[in-house]
Amino acid sequence: MADEPDEMLSWDESVFRNEHVFEIDYLPETFRHRESQLESLKYALRPAVRGSRPLNAMIRGPPGTGKTTAVQKLFGELGGETTVEVVRVNCQVNATRYAVFSQLFEGVFDYEPPASGVSFKKLFGQLTDRLVDDDTVLVVALDDINYLYYENEASDTLYSLLRAHETHPGSKIGVVVVSSDLSLDVIDDLDGRVQSVFRPEEVYFPRYGRDEITSILQERIDRGFHDDVIGAPQLDLVTEYTADSGDLRVGIDLLRRAGLHAEMRASREITEEDVEAAYEKSKHVHLSRCLDGLSESEIALLEVLIDHDGEQAGDVYDAFHDETELGYTRYSELVNKLDQLGLITATYADVDGRGRSRELTLEYDGGAILDRLD
């Protein structure tokens, strides 16, 4: 039994063989159940190896379906080619055109551009000049490009990248866009000037099936835990929770937290009770990730909504203005972004004497939000 004295962990022991295996940024050695998607992306990017501009690609699919891992795997292979530079930009963190190109500059030059005083035109020019001088193809991945759309920066950013060879002859840039927002129409929501030149190869990443989830999690277990730490019934429970969420990251996080919960009991084995206790935290993986990328004003609006959940937008604005002194136009932009992120729902309804107004409702428990903001 796990709670017998000789089966207890000592203070310097762990159930983990390699805890990093359960962290979100871990890149697995083997990448299962995405062979067809990888082949489609290789088809699009292969010309870069020959020194030609690659085809552009658009990767879409729900969160936690392997999109970022696929890009990292392919970029790892391409990065070894002398003719190719690869840069992946996290658009959740870099949500403006200038921020994106600053990341591209750093990726190509291996140092950051000056923090201020450099115009976009100069930054862009230095970047493309370097590509031309070195006869290098730049392959850019705009990961979570939906955040550029939320900030109305997507069209300008893509236009600059896709038209680079016209403004800077000889430069060769290929673009891979990655979106987890299935409500976003990546093409139709762009300006016409961008739509005319952006005809990407489309690659869809569906949710993993139950058997696929089990095999992926089993591989993490084999690499991350010592032998016999977790049994089949516990893995089945983790798989069930993961399949219900549709997000593989929930299962990976759940394994790690269940392991830590077992260690807290000084147990060498993970029980179903450990999994159940850990799920209360792991089920909010998407919430935590969204909150990490919010600005101070967006967080302020969420905090106001916790006290005014379900109220009309005008009433919420009054409370928000008292806290921040921001105007209604900016407030409306923030509401739209939180709605697009799935953190709130803004529903139009008829209000007596006021016409149609939006009712703002939180999509998560206010306590869960506050816990992750602290």
Mean per-residue pLDDT for 331-344?
92
Q: How many CA atoms are closer than 13 Å to the CA of 203, on its beta-carbon side?
A: 27
Terminal Cα-to-Cα distance of the chain (whole angstroms): 38
Would you place residue 352 in the very low, low, confident or very high pLDDT band (cuts 50, 70, 90)? low
Residue 10 parent element (H or E): none
Mean per-residue pLDDT for 238-251?
97
pLDDT reading at 3 higher than 50: no
What's this model's pTM, rounded to 2 decimal places? Answer: 0.90
State the chain's mean pLDDT as an integer.
Answer: 93
pLDDT reading at 44 higher than 70: yes
Q: pLDDT by residue (tens digit) across 16-32?
A: 999 999 998 899 988 99
Would you place residue 4 in the very low, low, confident or very high pLDDT band (cuts 50, 70, 90)? very low
CATH of domain 208-283: 1.10.8.60
Comparing CA positions, the residue from 348, 62, 88, 334 lying closest to residue 207 is 62
Q: Which DSSP state fits 295?
A: -
Q: Where are the domains of the chain?
A: 35-204, 208-283, 289-373
Per cent of the chain over pLDDT 90 is: 86
Would you place residue 10 in the very low, low, confident or very high pLDDT band (cuts 50, 70, 90)? confident
Would you place residue 2 in the very low, low, confident or very high pLDDT band (cuts 50, 70, 90)? very low
Per cent of the chain over pLDDT 70 is: 97
Comparing CA positions, the residue from 200, 183, 276 lying closest to residue 238 is 276
Residues in the chain: 374
The pLDDT of residue 356 is: 73
Q: pLDDT by residue (tens digit) across 116-161?
A: 889 999 999 999 999 999 999 999 999 999 999 999 999 999 999 9
CATH of domain 289-373: 1.10.10.10
The pLDDT of residue 5 is: 43
- Which residue matches tokens 């970029």? 75
Pure H helices in 204-282: 210-224, 232-245, 248-264, 272-282
Q: Which CATH superfamily is domain 35-204 in?
A: P-loop containing nucleotide triphosphate hydrolases (3.40.50.300)
